[in-house]
Structure 1
Amino acid sequence: MTSVPIPIPSRTQFVLEGIKHRILTGQLTPGQALVETELAAQFGVSKTPVREALKTLAGTGLVVMNQYKGVTVRMVDADMAREVYDVRLLLEPEALRRTVRRQASLDAARDALTRADDASDTAERSLSNREFHRALYVSCGNPLLGRMLDEVRDQAALVSAVAWAADPSWEREASEHREILRLAQDGDADGAARALHAHIESFVRRAFPATQEEVGQE
């Protein structure tokens, strides 16, 4: 059987999604070098789509391009976590509040929570966690607000992946997710927003103690 070649316009997207998945599931770790020739061989493409994919990932903040050191997976530290989670604290609870007030469907959030509970490995849980949080804000009624949160979504997932590798806290976070969803489904917009704010804030404080006095204080 001959393999079906990937259409040229799709090659960059194919490589982009593949590299992103490896980063967000911990297969590629912060600081790890990303070599174009090696990635091209792994994905069965030329270096051109790899180069374009890496440029896009640099734009989203998942990788860093350096003239001398080449391309590496972005390092995660307290300052980086603080920047990303400051944005989430400012925007995500308000987006959820609006989602609830619009009585938008939260079926996608419920389904993502179920997948996280049933997940067999860390990678699957991580991806389900991202889907859960996006489902809370995607129907907020303000496309710009949703896009702004989408822009930090991958960076937040990278922070989470690093934190979970050091100190898995799935059960606690799953419990908090269930409470957030319960409040949202009950129509308690303010209560759901407060619970989400506390959830985001407590995670980054546990994972990066250096941010304890800083996150959410600006």
Structure 2
Amino acid sequence: MTFAPSPIPSRTQYVLEAIKHSILTGQLSPGQALVETELAAQFGVSKTPVREALKTLAGTGLVVMSQYKGVTVRTVDAAMAREVYDVRLLLEPEALKRSILRKASLQAAQEALVRADGAEDRAERSLANREFHRALYLPCGNPLLAKMLDEVRDQAALVSTVAWASDPSWDREAGEHREILRFALDGDVERAARTLHNHIAGFVERAFPDSEMSGASGRSEGFEGGEAR
């Protein structure tokens, strides 16, 4: 058997992942300036890969490019959170329904829960949280639907990072994750989707109480899904 070494990431990809990690773990704060020359010196590269990485991050919504302010980490406010989470509320529960109906394996979601429980820091736990949600929608059978959710994934993680900095509600959300997965594994399509919906809506409502999710939370008053409110 021929040994195939792992591909070495390009300088641009290396810089991109490093900056993204710093943003999504709170090491770089919303509104903080990202100066090309400083980043190039920090990573030991020329300004070109830094510039390309920042352009890509701007495309994913993690940074903002301004003619006057230069490049800054995107600021999180109620309006931004509402936009991102409204997309998740519209698409993610439907994707989960389809994953369940296809009897897709949710082993990756179970593994993500275990990693979250054993996480030693915020960065590790945040990554496990993102992996849990992705493991629910990725096997939905519609690549375009999964891609659309992937496109708001980083922005949702940025919202979470800011919210957790002021209110580290890890334990509550871990309990809701276990409940979502329990319903999904039981094949209870409607309850799993509703619990996921309430989980997503509840998080942004707690983090940004004035965000008024414009009725998107769509909660059923008779829902008996336990602590998913």
User: 2:67: which partner in 1?
Assistant: 67
Cα–Cα, structure 1 residues 25 and 209, in superposed 2: closer, same or farther, change >3 Å? same
Gapped regions of structure 1 (runs ≥ 5): 1-5
Counterpart mapping for 1:37-52 below 5 A: 37-52=37-52
Cα distance change, pair 53–137 in 1 and its aligned pair in 2 (3 A): same
Q: 1:169 to 1:217 in 2, by over 3 A?
A: closer
Q: How many correspondences in the alignment?
A: 212
C-alpha deviation, 1:215, in angstroms: 5.4
Q: Retained in 2: the 8 A contact 1:25–1:123? A: yes
Counterpart Cα distance in 2 of 1:126 and 1:32: 21
d(CA) in 2 for partners of 1:203, 1:26: 18
Maintained 8 Å contact 2:63/2:74:
yes
Write the distance in 1 (CA, Å) between the matches of 2:52 and 2:44.
15
Cα distance in 2 for partners of 1:47, 1:110 equals: 41
* Structure-2 change in CA distance of 1:169 and 1:51 (3 Å): same
* 1:201–1:215 contact (8 Å) kept in structure 2: no
Q: CA deviation at 1:214?
A: 2.3
Corresponding position of 2:196: 196
Q: Could you list the runs of 4 or more consecutive aligned residues of structure 1 that deviate by over 2 angstroms after TM superposition?
A: 212-215
The answer to whether residue 145 in structure 2 is matched with residue 138 in structure 1 is no
**Counterpart residue identity of residue 112, structure 2:** A
Q: What secondary structure, in the 3-state scheme, does the structure 2 residue paired with 1:19 have?
A: helix
Aligned to 1:3: none
Over the residues paired in the alignment, what is the CA RMSD in angstroms? Answer: 1.5
Superposition deviation, residue 68 in structure 1: 1.1
Counterpart CA distance in 1 for 2:108 and 2:10 is 27
What CA distance in whole angstroms lies between the structure 2 residues aligned with 1:20 and 1:72? 12
2:36–2:51 CA contact under 8 A, matched in 1? yes
Q: Partner letter of residue 124 of structure 2? A: E
CA–CA distance in structure 2, aligned partners of residues 43 and 132 of structure 1:
31
More helix by share: 1
Separation in 2 of the partners of 1:40 and 1:106?
Answer: 41
- Residue 33 (1) aligns with residue 33 (2): yes
Q: Deviations over 1:67-96 (max 9, x none)?
A: 111000000000000000000000000000
**How many angstroms does 1:191 deviate by?**
1.1
Give me the whole-angstrom Cα distance separating, in 2, the residues matched to 1:89 and 1:108.
Answer: 22
TM-score normalised by length of structure 2: 0.90
For 2:159, give the aligned amino acid.
V
Partner of 1:96: 96
**Partner AA of 1:69 in structure 2:** K
Shift of 1:212: 3.1
Structure 1 letter corresponding to 2:53: A
For residues 175 and 10 of structure 1, the distance between their equivalents in structure 2, rounded to whole angstroms, comes to 39
Residues 85 and 215 in structure 1, CA contact (< 8 A), matched pair in contact too: no
Shift of 1:44: 1.5
Deviations 1:71-127 (A, max 9, x none): 000000000000000000000000000001101111111111111110011111111
CA contact (8 A) 1:78 1:210 kept: yes
Structure 2: gaps spanning 5 or more residues: 1-6, 219-229
Question: 1:168 & 1:98 partners in 2: Cα distance?
Answer: 31
